[in-house]
Structures are given as C-alpha cells and as structure tokens.
Amino acid sequence: MKNYFIRLFSIALLLIVVILSCKKEPVQGVSIEPKSIYLATGKTVMAKANIIPPNAANKNVSWCSNNPEIATVENGLITAKAIGRTSIKVTTEDRERTAICVITVFEPVEIEMVFVEGGTFLMGCSDGECFKDELPQHQVTLSSFNIGKYLVTQKQWKAIMGSNPSYYEGDSLPVDRVSWEMIQDYIFELNRATGKNYRLPTEAEWEYAARGGNKSKGYKYSGSDDIDEVAWYMGISGGCTHPVGTKKPNELGIYDMSGNVREWCKDMRYGRIYTDEPQINPQGPESGDARVLRSGDILFAAHLCRVSSRGGWHFQDTGNAPVSRILGFRLVLPE
C-alpha cells in the first residue's frame, strides 16, 4: 500500500510539473524583423513578427500599412507599390503593443558602367593653355575601376531620393544643382538599396578615364581634338544642359567628360597646385575649403573643357548661385 501511494504521489507531482511547464505567459511585447527594408517597386519581401516572450498565451497579431499606395502588407508579406517611404505596423491581439518597420521603396536603378583597366599616365597639362592649378604634370599609377558610362541622370536621382533638385528639368538630362554633400546622401541611399559600393571618382581616376585610359589617343578634349564632336559647351549649348550620351564618346566609350555639367570628385580637398612626385592611387590633399570639380560645362569656353582643366567649389553649397546650376556627377564602382 505504501508503494502504491508513493507511485500515485509521483504521478501527481509529474502532472503538476507538466501543467506548470505548459502554462503560457501573457504577451509582454512585440517586434518586427527586420526593422527597416529597402525594396524595389513591384518586389515583395516577408517580415516576421516576434512575440515576447516566445511562449506567450496568444500570438495573434494584425498587420497594416501606413500608406498602402507605397507598400501593402498581408500576414507579413510586404509588396512595394510606388516610390516613397512608409511604415508597416504589427499590433498584438489586445491592441496594447505595436512594432513598426520602415519601408523605403525605390525604382530599380541601373548605372551603366565602363571598365577602366589600371595603368600609369601623366596627369596635368602639357598643351600650352595650362593654368597654374594644372601644373606640374606628374606621373600617376591607378588600379582598375569601373566608371559611369553616363552622368547620373535626373531619373536615376529621383528613383532613389524621390525629389529633383535640378534647375534644368528632364529625366534624361544630367542631375544638376547638387552639392558634394547632397551626392554623399544619394550614394548612401543608392548603396543601401542596391547592396553595391558606388562612390565618386577620385580626380586622378576621372582624368585617366577622360583621357581614354590605356587606349588614350592624346586628345585635347575627352574623345576628340574637335570640341564640337564631344561636348556641350558655351559655343553650342544654347545655355542649357542636354540629354546624356548625345555627343561622341571617348576612346573608352564614356560620354560627356568634356562639357554639359561639371563633375564632383571624391578627393578629400581641392589642391591649388599638384605635387611633382609620382603617386599611386592619390586621394588628394587633406585640407582646404573646396572640393574638386572637373569637365567644364555648358557655360564654359572651349579651353576650360580640356581633359586637364580643373577647379574647386565649396562642398556645402546647395546650388543657389547661377554657377551652381551646372554641378553634377558620375559614379565609380571599384573592382
């Protein structure tokens, strides 16, 4: 009899342990994984709602979109509808706890690139029309890289940023009136959206590509000694920018590296004179009050559109002055 009661007690104790172990706790919180999502229009992605604690009594949640015109959600499946930014919210059944996931929807962006094989070249001026900041000519060695076949267009800017800062408006026109800092914001968002590592070209990379890299024929302008063949400049521009890629490309197949809009470079600062020492992948001087601009533009005379011509501009400028209307850029994708 004694053994019987011991066995019965043991079974009862075991049942109590099982019951207690199965008892579920009330919901203490909820979160969404991931907390932010970049998604191209027309694409879908699954988000996950995490209940805290995992063994909570009721895991039922409801999903909703703050702006269904930009993105919709159904049981965690998010569908991108239109360019913009919104949020997706998940709410517990008792409606006391919510979590938010930020959704950024962008239009798929294709930046067409041209491969530039690394090499050594003489950077600077030697054509007799030299300005002081183009001297002395010096040897530079560069690693291979990819550079934009075209200037970044207003369509490509709007696809990521959702707005257009340009003075001269048109989807196929180069984006203009952008400061160096505005471009850094664009590149940050573009890289988040695409998972790539775009950046501005260094001044040395820009000039090497403009000269035609290791296929250079030594032209005065990028792709020709006849500026009318390759550039929109003061003499023929009509005072406005033109669609990218409408003039003759240079030896590498790159367009508009003389004229149309001036192009920002990555260099830390603009140096008013060069060093005469040989350099490898130079990044520019570390101090100064301006960033580097290359290319010439629609308001420049021909001699300012030469491949060696250069200048600087205050990198925090937002483009209110007329001269700033024609500041644009192209991108580099490192090898």
pLDDT in tens, 232-262: 999 899 999 999 999 999 999 999 999 999 9
Name the residue type at position 190: L
Query: Using an 8 Å Cβ cutoff, are 73 and 81 in contact?
Result: no
CATH code assigned to 27-106: 2.60.40.1080
| 202 or 127, higher pLDDT | 202
Q: Is 277 exposed, middle or buried (CB count within 10 Å of its CB: 0-12, 13-18, 19+)?
A: exposed
| 319 or 300, higher pLDDT | 300
Name the band, by pLDDT with cuts 50, 70 and 90, for residue 127. confident
Query: Using an 8 Å Cβ cutoff, are 284 and 270 in contact?
Result: yes
Domain definitions of the chain by residue range: 27-106, 113-334
Residue 153 pLDDT greater than 80, yes or no: yes
Query: Using an 8 Å Cβ cutoff, are 106 and 43 in contact?
Result: no
pLDDT over 70 for what percent of the chain? 89
User: pLDDT tens across 154-177, in order?
Assistant: 999 999 988 899 999 999 999 999
User: pLDDT tens across 2-20, in order?
Assistant: 555 555 555 555 555 444 4
Token digits for 259? 């004229």
User: pLDDT tens across 67-91, in order?
Assistant: 999 999 999 999 999 888 899 999 9
pLDDT over 90 for what percent of the chain? 64
Dihedral angle sign, alpha carbons of residues 267, 182, 316, 255: positive
| 307 or 193, higher pLDDT | 307
Query: Using an 8 Å Cβ cutoff, are 178 and 262 in contact?
Result: no
What gap in Å lies between CA 145 and CA 209, rounded to an integer? 10
Residue given tokens 């707005």 in the structure block:
163
pLDDT of residue 318: 47
Query: pTM for the complete prediction?
Result: 0.79
Q: Comparing C-alpha atoms, which of 242, 235, 244 is closest to residue 304?
A: 235
What gap in Å lies between CA 29 and CA 51, rounded to an integer? 6
Assigned fold of 113-334: paralog of FGE (formylglycine-generating enzyme) (3.90.1580)
Helices 180-194 and 154-161 sit at what angle, rounded to 10 degrees?
Answer: 70
pLDDT of residue 4: 54
Residue 269 pLDDT greater than 80, yes or no: yes
297 CB neighbour count, 10 Å cutoff: 27
